[in-house]
Amino acid sequence: MKTKAEERTITKDGQLLLKKMEQDQVETVWDRLEAQSPQCGYCEMGLSCRVCAMGPCRIDPFGEGPQRGVCGADADIIVARNLGRMIAAGAAAHSDHGRDLVEVLAEVAAGKAPEYSITDEEKLRRIAREYGVETEGREVLEIAGELAAAMQEEFGTRKGFLTMANRAPAKRREIWQKVGIAPRGVDRETSEMMHRTHMGVDNGWQSLLLHGLRNALSDGWGGSMIATEVSDILFGTPAPTPNMVNIGVLKEDEVNIVVHGHNPVVSEMIMRACESAEMVELARKKGAKGINLTGLCCTGNELLMRHGIPMAGNHLMTELVIGTGAVEMMIVDYQCIMPSLGALAPCYHTRMISTSDKARFPGMEHREFHPDNAAELARTLVREAIENFDQRGETYIPVEAVPSVGGFSVEAIIGALGGTPQPLIDAITAGKIRGAVGVVGCNNPKIKHDYGHVTLTKRLIENDCLVVDTGCAAIANAKAGFKVAEAIKYAGPGLQEVCGALGIPPVLHMGSCVDNVRILVLAAALANALQVDISDLPLAGAAPEWYSEKAVSIGSYFVASGVYTVLGPMPPITGSMNVVNLLTSGLNDVIGASFAVEADPEKAAVLIRRHIEAKRKALGLSALDI
Ligand code: SF4
Ligand code: MSK
């Protein structure tokens, strides 16, 4: 029997749109999950293998059937190999996103992308110096060209250690060297993972898992970090900016254009086209009051962070947004875009546009963006969206948007603290803030939509843990009202006092999923200020509703960087207790941090608070018994 809307999501807009789409007889991701259930138990446990054509193979978890694949691989090898390939795919996705931005930077430097420019020159110079590029007395574009070339080198193997990994505390880098997981090149580690997991290469489940950590580090301190830093250089480093969130950001009387995906290269141009006087005038002539650009998922987060563009919703809202009947055009780039969207849109009047040469979708018109045609194509698409306004039928926008504040880059947080992390360290030392937690990651229809994020965040802030968030978690928490100054009413007394004095919310929106690296940079800054390792700090990470391979890479680079990380959904590893035990406890002895898995956010909050108090005690700070 079909589950009710109230069991699928905690959000009002989600529930109402789900009911509407049921009336419209349009299927959603939840319906398809039910149609797929029960899902394959072998795959859920990581015990199926289709690495080669002697297979596919599967291992019987009850010990009665085969215990080895055709090649002889046992459960430990197969589970570790499957997990390794998940990490590789996630790292590749983030890192390829980073590469795309570096290519735009290179084209800007070469004068081949005239509509893009260097927005944060100070950051360009700072990062260039980090890469050993001479900045004194040189032209901006010259520096940009040399920095882009230096970053492109990082994708290969020529240097042996990633430049920005030097931001990690010395103790952390020593651990990486000792364990043999220091990331050498962005693409190299992913490529090596694919090599190791080929039949007949690495059949040590421990060495496979350790390389998985190195692969993830090449994402966190490499590809993703490059993506974030270059996005800031090109489009501006975020600063606190108010915005509105939930499906109520769509407007009955305006042309609604939604951008979805991850890469700001397309969406920034769409934003500029939407703001042009010519387009606004055209929309008015068509009978609309204006053009309303809103975002979804992480492309939405990129625009929200830098420009305060309204956010229509996170991953599980992407189909429902179309169900409002109010979207003239949805423009997508890549990652987390359900292929169902192209089939869904014709049920309404929404035009669906794909823009990346590497991401095609059934039922979408493909209009490919390149740096040299981006501005013109953006104007063309916005014009076409306006033309589509009179095709609109009935609309259903059943909720009012809620206010939120985004834009907490590391620079903005340090700025809010008065230019140094010291006030945060003092608040933690005094016990007013017990610790800080990164609540990150996706939605997954196996977990009630947004329940994991919102419940965990609520419990953490009411117990004086500062929360920083990114990705779809950040959107869930914004919708829950945790991101305005008044939200300190949800915080415990200590956090309330500190956030109240600084005028910041208790939950800080740090960006999109590549922007998890901002959390790494903040953690490193705190550790460096205290001259300890990241694993010594009262910090934790959580991905209460993760679904994507990128999230597996993120979780792995958090742990490999010394951050205890609690996952909501169980990864496909339970077919090997050796793998489970290494990841959830054994890693503590190797790298000073480990994973935990807890689907119930109430219990996850207890695990995290217990961890934070243990770290406080080890640092000689006041600690609570939990
Ligand atoms: Fe089967 Fe081994 Fe081939 Fe995997 S690699 S499909 S376990 S034979
Ligand atoms: S969009 S990777 S569902 S956070 Fe970045 Fe959301 Fe997860 Fe995609």
Q: Does 201 sit in the ligand 1 pocket, CB within 6 Å?
A: no
Residue with the nearest Cα to atom 7 of ligand 2? 442
Distance 112 CA to ligand 2 centre (A): 31
- pLDDT tens profile 560-594: 999 999 999 999 999 999 999 999 999 999 999 99
Each residue of 426-461: pLDDT tens digit?
A: 999 999 999 999 999 999 999 999 999 999 999 999
Q: Is 114 exposed, middle or buried (0-12, 13-18, 19+ CB in 10 A)?
A: exposed
Residues 6+ apart with CB under 8 A from 225: 98, 164, 517, 520, 521
Structure confidence at residue 381 (pLDDT): 98
Is a pLDDT exceeding 80 seen at residue 157?
no
Which residue, 243, 227, 294, 163, is CA-closest to 512? 227
Q: 77 C-alpha to center of ligand 1: Å?
A: 10
What pLDDT does 313 receive?
A: 98
Is 140 a pocket residue for ligand 1 (Cβ < 6 Å)?
no
| Cβ–Cβ under 8 Å, residues 464 and 492 | yes
Residue 253 neighbours by CB distance under 10 Å: 12
| Ligand with an atom nearest the CA of residue 444 | 2
Among protein residues, the one with the nearest Cα to ligand 1's atom 6 is 55
What proportion of the chain, given as a percentage, has pLDDT over 90? 99
Q: What is the rounded distance in angstroms from the CA atom of residue 209 to the CA atom of residue 618?
A: 28
Q: What is the pLDDT of residue 158?
A: 72
Q: What is the mean pLDDT of residues 30-57?
A: 98
Residue 365, φ and ψ in degrees, nearest 5: -80, 135
* Residue 226 and residue 262 in contact, taking contact as beta carbons nearer than 8 Å: no
Atom from ligand 2 closest to the CA of residue 440: 4
> Which residue's CA is the nearest one to ligand 2's atom 8?
336
DSSP code at position 249: G
Domains of the chain: 75-235 (1.20.1270.30), 241-391 (3.40.50.2030), 413-618 (3.40.50.2030)
Atom of ligand 2 nearest to the CA of 551: 2
Distance 313 CA to ligand 2 centre (A): 11
User: What is the percent of the chain with per-residue pLDDT over 70, rounded to a whole number?
Assistant: 100
Specify the long-range contacts of residues 13-16, CB closer than 8 Å, at least 24 apart.
Answer: 13/246, 13/247, 13/248, 13/313, 13/317, 13/320, 13/398, 13/399, 13/479, 14/313, 14/316, 14/317, 14/320, 14/449, 14/450, 16/396, 16/398, 16/399
- Could you write out the DSSP letters of every residue in 104-125? HHHHHHTT--TT---S-HHHHH
* pLDDT reported for residue 1: 73
Report the separation in Å between the CA atom of 284 and the middle of ligand 1, taken as the mean of its atom positions. 61
Instruction: Count the alpha carbons within 13 Å of 580 in the hemisphere toward its beta carbon.
Output: 12
N-term to C-term CA, the chain: 40
Sequence-ordered strand ranges (E) for 185-320:
241-245, 255-261, 291-296, 311-313
At residue 72, φ and ψ (nearest 5 deg) are 105, 0
pLDDT, tens digit (0-9, with 9 covering 90-100), for 278-329: 999 999 999 999 999 999 999 999 999 999 999 999 999 999 999 999 999 9
Confidence of residue 160 (pLDDT cuts 50, 70, 90): confident
Tens-place pLDDT, residues 418-431:
999 999 999 999 99
SS3 60: coil
What is the predicted pLDDT for the residue at 156? 87
pLDDT at 159 over 80: no
pLDDT in the model for residue 508: 98
CB atoms within 10 A of CB 357: 11
- Whether 469 has a pLDDT exceeding 90, the answer reads yes
pLDDT computed for residue 167 by the predictor: 98
User: Mean per-residue pLDDT for 114-130?
Assistant: 97
What's the CA gap between 571 and 566, in Å, rounded?
11
Residues with CB under 6 A from ligand 2: 262, 297-298, 314-315, 336, 441-442, 471-472, 512-513, 548, 550-551
Strands 507-511, 465-470: pairing is: parallel
Centroid of ligand 1 to alpha carbon of 193 (angstroms): 16
- Distance (angstroms) between ligand 2 centre and the Cα of 307 equals 20
As a whole number of angstroms, the distance between CA 357 and CA 369 comes to 8
Cα–Cα dist 207/213, whole Å? 10
Structure confidence by residue, pLDDT tens digits, 349-379:
999 999 999 999 999 999 999 999 999 999 9
Instruction: Give distance in angstroms: CA of 71 to centre of ligand 1.
Output: 5
Atom in ligand 1 nearest the alpha carbon of residue 77? 7
Pocket of ligand 1 contains residue 33 by CB under 6 Å:
no
Q: Average pLDDT for residues 255-280, to the nearest whole number?
A: 98
**Which amino acid is located at 100 in the chain?**
D
pTM attached to this predicted model: 0.98
What local confidence, expressed as pLDDT, does residue 347 receive? Answer: 95
96-113 residue pLDDT tens: 999 999 999 999 999 999
Average pLDDT, the chain: 97
Please give the sequence-ordered ranges of beta strands (E in DSSP) within 314-450, or none if there are none. 329-332, 351-354, 365-366, 402-406, 435-439
Q: For residues 351 and 365, is the Cβ–Cβ distance under 8 A?
A: yes
Residue 626, Cβ density class (10 Å: 0-12 exposed, 13-18 middle, ≥19 buried): middle
Question: pLDDT tens across 217-260, in order?
Answer: 999 999 999 999 999 999 999 999 999 999 999 999 999 999 99
Cα–Cα distance between 261 and 318 in angstroms, integer? 10
Looking at residue 171, what is its pLDDT? 98
- Please choose, from the candidates 451, 454, 449, 475, the residue with its C-alpha nearest in 3D space to the C-alpha of residue 299: 475
Ligand nearest to the CA of 315: 2
* Average pLDDT, integer, range 501-514: 97
Region 44-61: what's the mean pLDDT? 98
Name the closest ligand to CA 55. Answer: 1
Which of 260, 258, 267 is closest to 293 using CA atoms?
258
Q: For residue 52, how far is its CA from the centre of ligand 1 (angstroms)? A: 5
Give distance in angstroms: CA of 82 to centre of ligand 1: 11
Task: Tell which atom from ligand 2 comes closest to the C-alpha of 301.
Answer: 5
Ligand minimally distant from the alpha carbon of residue 512? 2
